[in-house]
Chains A and B, each alone.
Chain A
Amino acid sequence: MSQDVPARKRDAKLHPRDTPDPDAPPIQVTGLHKSFGELHVLKGIDLTIQRGEVVCVIGPSGSGKSTLLRSVNLLEWPTKGEVLIEGIRVQDPDVNLDKVRTRIGMVFQQFNLFPHMTVLRNVTIAQEKVLQRSSAEASEVALAMLERVGLSDKVDAHPSQLSGGQQQRVAIARALSMNPDMMLFDEPTSALDPELVGEVLEVMRDLAREGMTMMVVTHEMGFAREVGTRLIFMDDGQIMEAGDPREVLANPQHPRTQLFLSKVL
Protein backbone atom coordinates (compact mmCIF):
# COMPACT_ATOMS: atom_id res chain seq x y z
CA MET A 1 0.00 0.00 0.00
CA SER A 2 1.46 3.34 -0.91
CA GLN A 3 2.31 5.80 1.85
CA ASP A 4 0.52 8.84 0.47
CA VAL A 5 -3.01 7.62 1.05
CA PRO A 6 -4.71 10.32 3.14
CA ALA A 7 -5.21 9.43 6.79
CA ARG A 8 -8.98 9.45 6.41
CA LYS A 9 -8.86 6.88 3.64
CA ARG A 10 -6.46 4.71 5.64
CA ASP A 11 -8.88 4.74 8.53
CA ALA A 12 -11.64 3.69 6.23
CA LYS A 13 -9.50 0.75 5.11
CA LEU A 14 -8.88 -0.31 8.71
CA HIS A 15 -12.52 0.12 9.63
CA PRO A 16 -14.25 -0.67 6.38
CA ARG A 17 -17.41 1.25 6.99
CA ASP A 18 -18.67 0.57 3.51
CA THR A 19 -18.75 -3.21 3.72
CA PRO A 20 -22.35 -4.36 3.99
CA ASP A 21 -23.28 -6.17 7.17
CA PRO A 22 -25.33 -9.26 6.24
CA ASP A 23 -27.13 -9.19 9.57
CA ALA A 24 -28.17 -5.54 9.40
CA PRO A 25 -31.57 -4.62 7.99
CA PRO A 26 -31.34 -3.65 4.31
CA ILE A 27 -32.97 -0.28 4.91
CA GLN A 28 -32.98 1.67 8.12
CA VAL A 29 -34.14 5.28 8.22
CA THR A 30 -34.07 7.27 11.46
CA GLY A 31 -35.35 10.77 12.17
CA LEU A 32 -35.35 11.66 8.49
CA HIS A 33 -36.23 15.23 7.55
CA LYS A 34 -36.12 16.74 4.10
CA SER A 35 -36.81 20.32 3.10
CA PHE A 36 -36.74 21.96 -0.29
CA GLY A 37 -36.01 25.53 0.69
CA GLU A 38 -38.99 26.60 2.76
CA LEU A 39 -41.00 23.49 1.96
CA HIS A 40 -40.74 20.91 4.72
CA VAL A 41 -41.52 17.67 2.89
CA LEU A 42 -40.41 14.88 5.25
CA LYS A 43 -41.00 15.51 8.93
CA GLY A 44 -39.23 12.83 10.88
CA ILE A 45 -39.47 9.40 9.27
CA ASP A 46 -38.41 6.26 11.15
CA LEU A 47 -38.55 3.09 9.14
CA THR A 48 -36.74 -0.24 9.25
CA ILE A 49 -37.19 -2.77 6.50
CA GLN A 50 -36.04 -6.33 7.08
CA ARG A 51 -34.73 -8.75 4.49
CA GLY A 52 -37.46 -10.19 2.28
CA GLU A 53 -40.07 -7.64 3.28
CA VAL A 54 -42.34 -6.05 0.70
CA VAL A 55 -43.27 -2.66 2.09
CA CYS A 56 -45.94 -0.78 0.19
CA VAL A 57 -46.27 2.96 0.65
CA ILE A 58 -49.53 4.78 -0.03
CA GLY A 59 -50.69 8.31 0.60
CA PRO A 60 -52.06 11.41 -1.08
CA SER A 61 -50.18 13.31 -3.75
CA GLY A 62 -47.47 15.54 -2.32
CA SER A 63 -47.26 13.62 0.96
CA GLY A 64 -43.56 12.85 0.37
CA LYS A 65 -43.66 9.22 -0.79
CA SER A 66 -41.29 9.76 -3.70
CA THR A 67 -39.02 11.94 -1.59
CA LEU A 68 -38.76 9.19 1.02
CA LEU A 69 -37.95 6.58 -1.61
CA ARG A 70 -35.40 8.83 -3.29
CA SER A 71 -33.80 9.57 0.07
CA VAL A 72 -33.11 5.87 0.56
CA ASN A 73 -30.54 5.82 -2.27
CA LEU A 74 -29.61 9.45 -1.67
CA LEU A 75 -31.00 10.83 -4.90
CA GLU A 76 -32.23 13.34 -2.33
CA TRP A 77 -29.79 14.27 0.39
CA PRO A 78 -31.46 14.28 3.85
CA THR A 79 -31.71 17.61 5.60
CA LYS A 80 -31.57 15.80 8.93
CA GLY A 81 -31.49 12.21 10.09
CA GLU A 82 -29.76 9.04 8.99
CA VAL A 83 -30.06 6.47 6.25
CA LEU A 84 -28.41 3.10 6.76
CA ILE A 85 -28.19 0.61 3.94
CA GLU A 86 -27.20 -2.87 5.12
CA GLY A 87 -25.65 -1.22 8.15
CA ILE A 88 -23.68 1.37 6.16
CA ARG A 89 -24.20 4.99 7.08
CA VAL A 90 -24.49 6.23 3.53
CA GLN A 91 -24.09 9.92 4.32
CA ASP A 92 -20.57 9.26 5.62
CA PRO A 93 -18.09 11.07 3.40
CA ASP A 94 -15.92 7.93 3.31
CA VAL A 95 -18.67 5.83 1.82
CA ASN A 96 -18.58 5.19 -1.90
CA LEU A 97 -22.15 6.09 -2.72
CA ASP A 98 -22.00 4.69 -6.24
CA LYS A 99 -21.05 1.32 -4.84
CA VAL A 100 -23.94 1.37 -2.36
CA ARG A 101 -26.35 2.36 -5.11
CA THR A 102 -25.45 -0.71 -7.17
CA ARG A 103 -27.07 -2.78 -4.40
CA ILE A 104 -30.31 -0.76 -4.54
CA GLY A 105 -32.32 -1.23 -7.71
CA MET A 106 -34.71 1.59 -8.56
CA VAL A 107 -37.68 1.65 -10.90
CA PHE A 108 -39.32 4.94 -11.85
CA GLN A 109 -42.82 5.93 -12.86
CA GLN A 110 -41.54 7.24 -16.20
CA PHE A 111 -39.32 4.14 -16.84
CA ASN A 112 -36.32 6.35 -17.69
CA LEU A 113 -34.81 3.92 -20.14
CA PHE A 114 -31.90 5.33 -22.13
CA PRO A 115 -33.56 6.18 -25.46
CA HIS A 116 -30.34 6.21 -27.49
CA MET A 117 -29.48 2.61 -26.61
CA THR A 118 -30.98 -0.74 -27.59
CA VAL A 119 -32.80 -2.74 -24.96
CA LEU A 120 -29.74 -4.98 -24.57
CA ARG A 121 -27.40 -2.00 -24.16
CA ASN A 122 -29.74 -0.50 -21.58
CA VAL A 123 -29.28 -3.62 -19.51
CA THR A 124 -25.55 -4.12 -20.07
CA ILE A 125 -24.10 -0.62 -19.79
CA ALA A 126 -24.10 -0.26 -16.02
CA GLN A 127 -22.82 -3.80 -15.58
CA GLU A 128 -19.83 -2.95 -17.75
CA LYS A 129 -19.15 0.60 -16.59
CA VAL A 130 -19.86 0.06 -12.90
CA LEU A 131 -19.30 -3.61 -12.09
CA GLN A 132 -16.54 -3.95 -14.72
CA ARG A 133 -18.11 -7.07 -16.14
CA SER A 134 -16.87 -8.14 -19.58
CA SER A 135 -19.28 -7.43 -22.39
CA ALA A 136 -19.84 -11.17 -22.89
CA GLU A 137 -20.68 -11.67 -19.24
CA ALA A 138 -22.88 -8.57 -19.16
CA SER A 139 -24.80 -9.75 -22.21
CA GLU A 140 -25.32 -13.14 -20.67
CA VAL A 141 -26.72 -11.61 -17.49
CA ALA A 142 -28.83 -9.18 -19.51
CA LEU A 143 -30.34 -11.96 -21.61
CA ALA A 144 -31.19 -13.93 -18.48
CA MET A 145 -32.87 -10.89 -16.92
CA LEU A 146 -34.78 -10.03 -20.09
CA GLU A 147 -35.92 -13.64 -20.28
CA ARG A 148 -37.11 -13.35 -16.73
CA VAL A 149 -39.31 -10.35 -17.54
CA GLY A 150 -40.48 -12.06 -20.74
CA LEU A 151 -38.74 -9.81 -23.26
CA SER A 152 -35.92 -11.87 -24.75
CA ASP A 153 -37.32 -11.17 -28.22
CA LYS A 154 -36.92 -7.38 -27.81
CA VAL A 155 -33.16 -7.35 -27.30
CA ASP A 156 -32.41 -5.26 -30.39
CA ALA A 157 -35.37 -2.90 -30.15
CA HIS A 158 -35.07 0.70 -29.02
CA PRO A 159 -37.19 1.83 -26.07
CA SER A 160 -39.40 3.99 -28.30
CA GLN A 161 -40.51 0.84 -30.13
CA LEU A 162 -41.86 -0.76 -26.97
CA SER A 163 -45.16 -0.38 -25.13
CA GLY A 164 -45.11 1.24 -21.71
CA GLY A 165 -45.47 -2.11 -20.00
CA GLN A 166 -42.56 -3.53 -21.98
CA GLN A 167 -40.42 -0.48 -21.21
CA GLN A 168 -41.10 -0.83 -17.53
CA ARG A 169 -40.18 -4.52 -17.62
CA VAL A 170 -36.90 -3.62 -19.34
CA ALA A 171 -36.30 -1.07 -16.58
CA ILE A 172 -36.83 -3.80 -14.00
CA ALA A 173 -34.44 -6.11 -15.88
CA ARG A 174 -31.90 -3.28 -16.01
CA ALA A 175 -32.09 -2.80 -12.25
CA LEU A 176 -31.92 -6.55 -11.60
CA SER A 177 -28.84 -6.96 -13.79
CA MET A 178 -26.79 -5.29 -11.04
CA ASN A 179 -27.78 -8.08 -8.59
CA PRO A 180 -29.28 -5.63 -6.10
CA ASP A 181 -30.12 -6.72 -2.58
CA MET A 182 -33.23 -4.58 -2.59
CA MET A 183 -35.54 -2.82 -5.04
CA LEU A 184 -37.31 0.52 -4.83
CA PHE A 185 -40.38 1.10 -7.00
CA ASP A 186 -41.90 4.57 -7.40
CA GLU A 187 -45.41 4.15 -8.79
CA PRO A 188 -44.17 1.68 -11.42
CA THR A 189 -47.58 1.24 -13.03
CA SER A 190 -49.01 4.76 -12.77
CA ALA A 191 -47.92 5.82 -16.26
CA LEU A 192 -49.31 2.67 -17.89
CA ASP A 193 -52.51 2.06 -19.79
CA PRO A 194 -54.77 -0.08 -17.57
CA GLU A 195 -54.39 -3.19 -19.73
CA LEU A 196 -50.58 -3.07 -19.32
CA VAL A 197 -50.53 -2.81 -15.54
CA GLY A 198 -50.93 -6.54 -15.02
CA GLU A 199 -47.78 -7.64 -16.83
CA VAL A 200 -45.61 -5.35 -14.69
CA LEU A 201 -47.27 -6.35 -11.44
CA GLU A 202 -46.78 -9.99 -12.44
CA VAL A 203 -43.01 -9.45 -12.68
CA MET A 204 -42.99 -7.69 -9.32
CA ARG A 205 -45.03 -10.47 -7.75
CA ASP A 206 -42.45 -13.01 -8.96
CA LEU A 207 -39.66 -10.92 -7.48
CA ALA A 208 -41.43 -10.76 -4.13
CA ARG A 209 -42.00 -14.51 -4.20
CA GLU A 210 -38.27 -15.03 -4.70
CA GLY A 211 -37.61 -13.11 -1.51
CA MET A 212 -36.46 -9.74 -2.85
CA THR A 213 -36.59 -6.92 -0.33
CA MET A 214 -38.92 -4.34 -1.85
CA MET A 215 -40.21 -0.89 -1.12
CA VAL A 216 -43.09 0.02 -3.40
CA VAL A 217 -44.90 3.33 -3.69
CA THR A 218 -48.17 2.38 -5.36
CA HIS A 219 -51.82 3.05 -5.91
CA GLU A 220 -52.48 -0.63 -6.60
CA MET A 221 -54.27 -1.63 -3.43
CA GLY A 222 -54.82 -5.15 -4.78
CA PHE A 223 -51.08 -5.61 -5.13
CA ALA A 224 -50.47 -4.19 -1.65
CA ARG A 225 -53.05 -6.50 -0.12
CA GLU A 226 -51.87 -9.59 -1.91
CA VAL A 227 -48.07 -9.17 -2.05
CA GLY A 228 -47.22 -6.60 0.61
CA THR A 229 -45.93 -7.70 3.98
CA ARG A 230 -46.45 -4.24 5.39
CA LEU A 231 -48.45 -1.21 4.35
CA ILE A 232 -47.43 2.32 5.22
CA PHE A 233 -49.77 5.25 4.94
CA MET A 234 -48.02 8.60 4.59
CA ASP A 235 -49.53 12.02 4.88
CA ASP A 236 -47.97 15.44 5.24
CA GLY A 237 -44.42 14.10 5.42
CA GLN A 238 -45.11 11.63 8.19
CA ILE A 239 -45.95 7.96 8.54
CA MET A 240 -49.49 8.11 9.86
CA GLU A 241 -50.18 4.43 10.04
CA ALA A 242 -48.38 1.17 9.32
CA GLY A 243 -49.27 -2.47 9.62
CA ASP A 244 -50.40 -5.62 7.90
CA PRO A 245 -51.83 -4.55 4.53
CA ARG A 246 -55.03 -6.56 4.85
CA GLU A 247 -55.67 -5.09 8.26
CA VAL A 248 -54.89 -1.49 7.38
CA LEU A 249 -56.99 -1.65 4.22
CA ALA A 250 -59.93 -3.36 5.89
CA ASN A 251 -59.78 -1.53 9.18
CA PRO A 252 -57.82 1.74 9.04
CA GLN A 253 -57.22 3.30 12.46
CA HIS A 254 -56.18 6.86 11.71
CA PRO A 255 -58.90 9.23 10.48
CA ARG A 256 -56.61 10.46 7.66
CA THR A 257 -56.10 6.88 6.49
CA GLN A 258 -59.85 6.34 6.57
CA LEU A 259 -60.41 9.47 4.56
CA PHE A 260 -57.75 8.58 2.00
CA LEU A 261 -58.96 5.01 1.57
CA SER A 262 -62.57 6.08 1.27
CA LYS A 263 -61.49 8.15 -1.73
CA VAL A 264 -59.36 5.58 -3.55
CA LEU A 265 -61.14 2.29 -2.84
Chain B
Amino acid sequence: MALSDIRPTVRRRISRGTSYGVTIVVLALIVAYGSRNWELLSRQFFNGEVFAEVLPNIWVPILNTLLYTVASFVVGTALAIVLALIKTSKGPTRWFAVVFIEVFRGLPAMWTIFAFAYMLSTAFQFRWPGGAIWGGVLALVFVTGAYSAEIVRAGIEAVPKGQREAARSLGMSQLTTTFHVILPQAVRIVIPPLTNEFVMLLKDTALLFIAGATISQRELTTFGRDGLTTYANATPMIVSGLVYLVITVPLTYLVGLLEKKMAVKK
Protein backbone atom coordinates (compact mmCIF):
# COMPACT_ATOMS: atom_id res chain seq x y z
CA MET B 1 0.00 0.00 0.00
CA ALA B 2 1.42 3.35 -1.10
CA LEU B 3 1.50 6.25 1.33
CA SER B 4 -0.96 8.21 -0.81
CA ASP B 5 -3.53 5.40 -0.43
CA ILE B 6 -3.85 6.03 3.29
CA ARG B 7 -6.71 8.25 4.39
CA PRO B 8 -5.58 11.88 4.80
CA THR B 9 -6.43 12.06 8.53
CA VAL B 10 -4.44 8.92 9.19
CA ARG B 11 -1.60 10.17 7.05
CA ARG B 12 -1.55 13.43 9.01
CA ARG B 13 -1.47 11.52 12.27
CA ILE B 14 1.46 9.43 11.02
CA SER B 15 3.43 12.43 9.78
CA ARG B 16 2.81 14.28 13.06
CA GLY B 17 3.96 11.22 14.93
CA THR B 18 7.13 11.13 12.82
CA SER B 19 7.93 14.77 13.49
CA TYR B 20 7.47 14.28 17.26
CA GLY B 21 9.67 11.24 17.06
CA VAL B 22 12.44 13.08 15.22
CA THR B 23 12.28 15.97 17.68
CA ILE B 24 12.62 13.67 20.66
CA VAL B 25 15.55 11.80 19.16
CA VAL B 26 17.40 15.04 18.31
CA LEU B 27 16.77 16.46 21.79
CA ALA B 28 18.00 13.22 23.36
CA LEU B 29 21.21 13.37 21.31
CA ILE B 30 21.81 17.00 22.32
CA VAL B 31 21.23 16.24 26.00
CA ALA B 32 23.46 13.18 25.81
CA TYR B 33 26.24 15.16 24.14
CA GLY B 34 25.71 18.13 26.46
CA SER B 35 25.82 16.14 29.69
CA ARG B 36 28.98 14.35 28.65
CA ASN B 37 30.71 17.57 27.52
CA TRP B 38 29.05 20.02 29.89
CA GLU B 39 32.33 21.31 31.16
CA LEU B 40 33.55 22.29 27.65
CA LEU B 41 30.21 23.76 26.65
CA SER B 42 29.78 25.97 29.65
CA ARG B 43 33.39 27.15 29.50
CA GLN B 44 33.13 28.01 25.79
CA PHE B 45 29.61 29.35 25.48
CA PHE B 46 28.46 30.44 28.93
CA ASN B 47 31.66 31.51 30.57
CA GLY B 48 30.90 33.56 33.71
CA GLU B 49 34.31 35.19 33.90
CA VAL B 50 34.30 36.32 30.27
CA PHE B 51 30.72 37.46 30.70
CA ALA B 52 31.62 39.59 33.70
CA GLU B 53 34.47 41.18 31.77
CA VAL B 54 32.52 42.05 28.62
CA LEU B 55 29.29 43.05 30.34
CA PRO B 56 30.33 46.67 31.04
CA ASN B 57 31.31 47.05 27.37
CA ILE B 58 28.09 45.78 25.83
CA TRP B 59 25.89 48.81 26.42
CA VAL B 60 27.59 50.96 23.81
CA PRO B 61 27.21 48.30 21.05
CA ILE B 62 23.55 47.83 22.02
CA LEU B 63 22.93 51.55 21.78
CA ASN B 64 24.88 51.75 18.51
CA THR B 65 22.89 48.91 16.96
CA LEU B 66 19.69 50.69 17.92
CA LEU B 67 21.06 54.04 16.72
CA TYR B 68 22.06 52.67 13.30
CA THR B 69 18.75 50.83 12.98
CA VAL B 70 16.53 53.73 14.01
CA ALA B 71 18.50 56.30 12.00
CA SER B 72 18.42 54.29 8.79
CA PHE B 73 14.80 53.29 9.41
CA VAL B 74 13.59 56.87 9.89
CA VAL B 75 15.52 58.36 6.98
CA GLY B 76 14.92 55.26 4.85
CA THR B 77 11.16 55.36 5.44
CA ALA B 78 11.03 59.05 4.50
CA LEU B 79 12.98 58.17 1.35
CA ALA B 80 10.59 55.26 0.72
CA ILE B 81 7.55 57.57 0.88
CA VAL B 82 9.14 59.97 -1.59
CA LEU B 83 10.10 57.10 -3.93
CA ALA B 84 6.63 55.57 -3.69
CA LEU B 85 4.96 58.90 -4.47
CA ILE B 86 7.25 59.41 -7.44
CA LYS B 87 6.69 55.87 -8.65
CA THR B 88 2.89 56.11 -8.41
CA SER B 89 2.89 59.47 -10.21
CA LYS B 90 2.90 59.83 -13.95
CA GLY B 91 5.64 61.40 -16.01
CA PRO B 92 9.29 60.63 -16.72
CA THR B 93 10.55 61.11 -13.12
CA ARG B 94 8.79 57.80 -12.45
CA TRP B 95 11.72 56.04 -14.06
CA PHE B 96 14.15 57.52 -11.60
CA ALA B 97 12.25 55.82 -8.78
CA VAL B 98 11.94 52.57 -10.71
CA VAL B 99 15.68 52.38 -11.40
CA PHE B 100 16.63 53.40 -7.85
CA ILE B 101 14.39 50.73 -6.35
CA GLU B 102 15.53 47.97 -8.69
CA VAL B 103 19.21 48.76 -8.20
CA PHE B 104 19.21 48.82 -4.42
CA ARG B 105 16.99 45.78 -4.13
CA GLY B 106 19.02 43.91 -6.68
CA LEU B 107 22.45 44.43 -5.12
CA PRO B 108 23.60 42.46 -2.08
CA ALA B 109 23.32 44.70 1.00
CA MET B 110 26.89 43.73 1.88
CA TRP B 111 28.16 44.95 -1.50
CA THR B 112 26.32 48.24 -1.13
CA ILE B 113 27.64 48.84 2.38
CA PHE B 114 31.19 48.14 1.32
CA ALA B 115 30.81 50.30 -1.79
CA PHE B 116 29.48 53.23 0.22
CA ALA B 117 31.92 52.88 3.07
CA TYR B 118 35.10 52.42 1.00
CA MET B 119 34.62 52.44 -2.77
CA LEU B 120 33.13 55.92 -3.04
CA SER B 121 35.55 57.49 -0.60
CA THR B 122 38.49 55.87 -2.37
CA ALA B 123 37.34 56.80 -5.85
CA PHE B 124 36.41 60.38 -4.98
CA GLN B 125 39.10 60.94 -2.38
CA PHE B 126 37.01 61.99 0.58
CA ARG B 127 36.38 60.94 4.15
CA TRP B 128 32.97 60.21 5.56
CA PRO B 129 32.32 62.68 8.38
CA GLY B 130 32.24 60.58 11.53
CA GLY B 131 34.00 57.67 9.82
CA ALA B 132 33.39 55.07 7.13
CA ILE B 133 30.66 53.39 9.16
CA TRP B 134 28.35 56.32 8.41
CA GLY B 135 28.85 55.61 4.73
CA GLY B 136 27.65 52.12 5.57
CA VAL B 137 24.63 53.52 7.40
CA LEU B 138 23.80 55.63 4.36
CA ALA B 139 23.94 52.45 2.28
CA LEU B 140 21.42 50.88 4.67
CA VAL B 141 19.20 53.96 4.23
CA PHE B 142 19.17 53.41 0.47
CA VAL B 143 18.64 49.66 0.73
CA THR B 144 15.78 49.88 3.20
CA GLY B 145 14.37 52.87 1.31
CA ALA B 146 14.18 50.76 -1.84
CA TYR B 147 12.48 47.83 -0.10
CA SER B 148 10.08 50.00 1.88
CA ALA B 149 9.18 52.03 -1.21
CA GLU B 150 7.48 48.94 -2.60
CA ILE B 151 5.69 48.42 0.72
CA VAL B 152 4.50 52.03 0.80
CA ARG B 153 3.45 51.90 -2.84
CA ALA B 154 1.36 48.81 -2.17
CA GLY B 155 -0.16 50.65 0.81
CA ILE B 156 -1.03 53.67 -1.30
CA GLU B 157 -2.56 51.47 -3.96
CA ALA B 158 -4.60 49.61 -1.34
CA VAL B 159 -6.49 52.81 -0.50
CA PRO B 160 -9.73 52.64 -2.51
CA LYS B 161 -9.81 54.82 -5.64
CA GLY B 162 -12.99 56.47 -4.41
CA GLN B 163 -11.07 58.17 -1.60
CA ARG B 164 -8.96 60.19 -4.01
CA GLU B 165 -11.99 60.95 -6.16
CA ALA B 166 -14.03 62.16 -3.20
CA ALA B 167 -11.18 64.43 -2.09
CA ARG B 168 -10.57 65.83 -5.57
CA SER B 169 -14.30 66.41 -6.08
CA LEU B 170 -14.22 68.61 -2.96
CA GLY B 171 -11.57 70.72 -4.65
CA MET B 172 -8.59 69.36 -2.74
CA SER B 173 -5.34 69.58 -4.65
CA GLN B 174 -3.27 66.53 -5.52
CA LEU B 175 -0.92 67.32 -2.66
CA THR B 176 -3.61 67.95 -0.03
CA THR B 177 -5.35 64.76 -1.10
CA THR B 178 -2.17 62.75 -0.79
CA PHE B 179 -1.19 64.08 2.60
CA HIS B 180 -4.56 64.29 4.34
CA VAL B 181 -6.54 61.49 2.73
CA ILE B 182 -4.31 58.87 1.09
CA LEU B 183 -1.15 58.67 3.22
CA PRO B 184 -2.90 58.50 6.62
CA GLN B 185 -4.86 55.48 5.37
CA ALA B 186 -1.83 53.94 3.67
CA VAL B 187 0.18 54.26 6.90
CA ARG B 188 -2.27 52.04 8.75
CA ILE B 189 -2.04 49.38 6.08
CA VAL B 190 1.72 49.62 6.02
CA ILE B 191 2.56 49.47 9.73
CA PRO B 192 2.89 45.66 10.00
CA PRO B 193 5.13 45.20 6.93
CA LEU B 194 7.20 48.23 7.91
CA THR B 195 7.72 46.80 11.39
CA ASN B 196 8.92 43.68 9.64
CA GLU B 197 11.31 45.81 7.63
CA PHE B 198 12.55 47.33 10.91
CA VAL B 199 13.40 43.84 12.16
CA MET B 200 15.21 43.01 8.92
CA LEU B 201 17.10 46.28 9.16
CA LEU B 202 18.12 45.61 12.74
CA LYS B 203 19.60 42.33 11.60
CA ASP B 204 21.24 43.98 8.59
CA THR B 205 23.15 46.40 10.85
CA ALA B 206 25.31 43.33 11.58
CA LEU B 207 26.71 43.79 8.06
CA LEU B 208 28.17 47.11 9.17
CA PHE B 209 31.02 45.14 10.71
CA ILE B 210 32.77 45.33 7.32
CA ALA B 211 32.49 49.11 7.31
CA GLY B 212 35.11 49.38 10.02
CA ALA B 213 34.14 50.86 13.34
CA THR B 214 36.09 52.50 16.11
CA ILE B 215 35.61 51.03 19.58
CA SER B 216 32.89 53.57 20.37
CA GLN B 217 31.13 52.86 17.05
CA ARG B 218 30.91 49.08 17.30
CA GLU B 219 27.54 47.42 16.92
CA LEU B 220 26.61 44.06 18.42
CA THR B 221 28.12 41.75 15.82
CA THR B 222 31.48 43.55 15.81
CA PHE B 223 31.36 43.42 19.58
CA GLY B 224 30.80 39.66 19.50
CA ARG B 225 33.53 39.06 16.97
CA ASP B 226 36.05 41.23 18.86
CA GLY B 227 35.22 39.35 22.05
CA LEU B 228 35.68 36.04 20.28
CA THR B 229 39.20 36.92 19.14
CA THR B 230 40.19 38.66 22.38
CA TYR B 231 39.12 35.87 24.74
CA ALA B 232 39.17 32.95 22.30
CA ASN B 233 35.76 32.28 23.74
CA ALA B 234 32.23 32.13 22.31
CA THR B 235 30.45 33.82 25.22
CA PRO B 236 30.47 37.37 23.75
CA MET B 237 28.95 36.06 20.50
CA ILE B 238 26.26 34.23 22.48
CA VAL B 239 25.49 37.34 24.51
CA SER B 240 25.17 39.55 21.44
CA GLY B 241 23.03 36.90 19.75
CA LEU B 242 20.70 36.84 22.74
CA VAL B 243 20.37 40.62 22.65
CA TYR B 244 19.29 40.44 18.99
CA LEU B 245 16.70 37.80 19.85
CA VAL B 246 15.34 39.78 22.81
CA ILE B 247 14.53 42.60 20.39
CA THR B 248 13.54 40.74 17.22
CA VAL B 249 11.36 37.95 18.57
CA PRO B 250 8.85 40.20 20.42
CA LEU B 251 8.72 42.58 17.44
CA THR B 252 7.96 39.69 15.12
CA TYR B 253 5.15 38.59 17.43
CA LEU B 254 3.86 42.15 17.46
CA VAL B 255 3.69 42.13 13.67
CA GLY B 256 1.65 38.94 13.83
CA LEU B 257 -0.73 40.52 16.35
CA LEU B 258 -1.12 43.69 14.28
CA GLU B 259 -1.84 41.68 11.17
CA LYS B 260 -4.44 39.61 12.97
CA LYS B 261 -6.06 42.74 14.37
CA MET B 262 -6.23 44.37 10.95
CA ALA B 263 -7.65 41.22 9.40
CA VAL B 264 -10.46 41.27 11.99
CA LYS B 265 -11.22 44.92 11.25
CA LYS B 266 -11.81 44.17 7.57
Q: Identify the A interface with B (CB < 8 A).
A: 70, 73, 75, 98-99, 101-102, 104-106, 108, 110, 112-116, 125-126, 129-131, 171, 174-175, 178
Contacts and interface: CB of A to CB of B under 8 A. Distances in A.
Given A112-B163, A114-B163, A116-B184, A130 B176 contact: yes
B162 A99 contact: no
A129 B174 CA distance: 12
Contacts, number: 60
B165 A116 contact: no
B181 A114 contact: yes
Interface residues of B, number: 18
Given A115-B185, A125-B180, 12 more contacts: A73-B169, A75-B168, A98-B168, A98-B171, A101-B168, A101-B170, A102-B171, A108-B166, A112-B163, A129-B180, A130-B173, A130-B176
Interface in B42-65: none
B172 A98 contact: yes
Given A110-B162, A129-B180, A75 B169 contact: yes
B7 interface: no
For the complex of A and B, 8 pairs with smallest distance between CB atoms: A102-B171, A112-B166, A126-B170, A106-B169, A112-B162, A130-B171, A101-B171, A98-B171
Contact of A116 (B162, B172, B185): B185
Contacts of A102: 170-171
B36 interface: no
Given A108-B162, A108-B165, A129-B180, A98 B173 contact: yes
Interface string B176-188: 1000110011001
A231 B162 CA distance: 27
Contacts of A129: 172, 176, 180
A178 B181 CA distance: 17
A113 B166 CA distance: 8
Contacts of B163: 112, 114
Nearest to B181: A114
B188 A116 contact: yes
B171 A126 contact: yes
Contacts of B160: 110, 112
A64 B160 CA distance: 21
Nearest to A108: B162
Contacts of B167: 114, 126
Contacts of A131: 171
B183 to A, nearest CB: 10
A150 B134 CA distance: 60
A70 B181 CA distance: 20
A116 B167 CA distance: 13
Contacts of A110: 160, 162
A142 to B, nearest CB: 13
B168 A112 contact: no
Contact of B170 (A70, A116, A174): A174
B263 to A, nearest CB: 15
A102 to B, nearest CB: 4
Interface string B147-160: 00000000000001
A178 B168 contact: no
Nearest to A74: B168
Nearest to A103: B171
A114 B166 contact: yes
A102 B171 CA distance: 5
A126 B165 contact: no
Contacts of A174: 170
Contacts of A125: 180
Nearest to B177: A129
A231 to B, nearest CB: 24
Contacts of A175: 169-170
B104 to A, nearest CB: 31
A84 B176 CA distance: 25
Interface in B220-241: none
Contacts of A108: 162, 165-166
A146 B165 CA distance: 22
B172 A130 contact: yes
A57 to B, nearest CB: 17
B138 to A, nearest CB: 34
A178 B165 CA distance: 16
A183 B68 CA distance: 53
B142 to A, nearest CB: 31
